[in-house]
Chains A and B, each alone.
Chain A
Amino acid sequence: GAGVSQSPSNKVTEKGKDVELRCDPISGHTALYWYRQSLGQGLEFLIYFQGNSAPDKSGLPSDRFSAERTGGSVSTLTIQRTQQEDSAVYLCASSSGNYNEQFFGPGTRLTVL
């Protein structure tokens, strides 16, 4: 069956530009998470959506980062005025409930020049 998909798989951008990263979760999964993995680091939690509840934005590193989830399905992570330190692999995961197994997408590798 279809797993979590993310697009683009790779994104190279210039410092100062805005980027949008997309996540298509597994159909029917109500919970959606964004993480990022910087070079040599573990996966860092960014933001969490559960159903129609207000998202948990506690992991977003700055106000340049935002995310939305339309119709309880597709999610878009937006990074404004990108900086070189934003370079990382951005991973999306979905699960059928708050504490159920999280299924990860393949990630988007973002490179900010």
Chain B
Amino acid sequence: DQQVKQNSPSLSVQEGRISILNCDYTNSMFDYFLWYKKYPAEGPTFLISISSIKDKNEDGRFTVFLNKSAKHLSLHIVPSQPGDSAVYFCAGMNYGGSQGNLIFGKGTKLSVKP
């Protein structure tokens, strides 16, 4: 049973345009969502997060939107840059239950073409 789903394994975007990465979840107990970015041969690095009581969080070129009723979140990157090319993982966390371990999706590989 996949609690966090990233249905697009890959996405290709032109430099300067917007990248939109999508994530769906089934566990209504999640109260925090995070996006991690992973380059080859490196561990994931934290990118941006959002609390379940918010619907938007913005940090520079990165914005995460949360639609709780649809159990859907998305990461927007604008403008996209070639250095953004990486695998992006969406993760959910249940403060009350899991002691902080993250439940990850399978990731979306973003390619930003110059």
Partners in one complex: yes
Chain A residues with CB under 8 Å of chain B are 4, 31, 33, 35, 40-45, 48, 50, 56, 59, 91, 93, 95, 97-107
Q: Check: B102 CB closer than 8 A to any chain A CB.
A: yes
Min CB distance, B107 to chain A, in Å?
A: 6
Q: Can you list 20 A-B pairs, Cβ within 8 angstroms, ordered by A?
A: A4-B43, A33-B102, A35-B102, A42-B4, A42-B106, A42-B107, A43-B89, A43-B91, A43-B102, A43-B104, A45-B101, A50-B100, A91-B43, A91-B44, A93-B43, A101-B46, A104-B43, A105-B43, A106-B42, A107-B41
Q: How far is the CA of A108 from the CA of B47 in the complex (A)?
A: 22
Which residues of B sit under 8 angstroms from A4, Cβ to Cβ? 43
CB <8 Å contact, A45 and B99: no
Q: Which residues of A contact B91 (CB under 8 A)?
A: 43
Interface size in chain B (residues, C-beta < 8 A): 23
Q: B100 near A98 (CB under 8 angstroms)?
A: yes
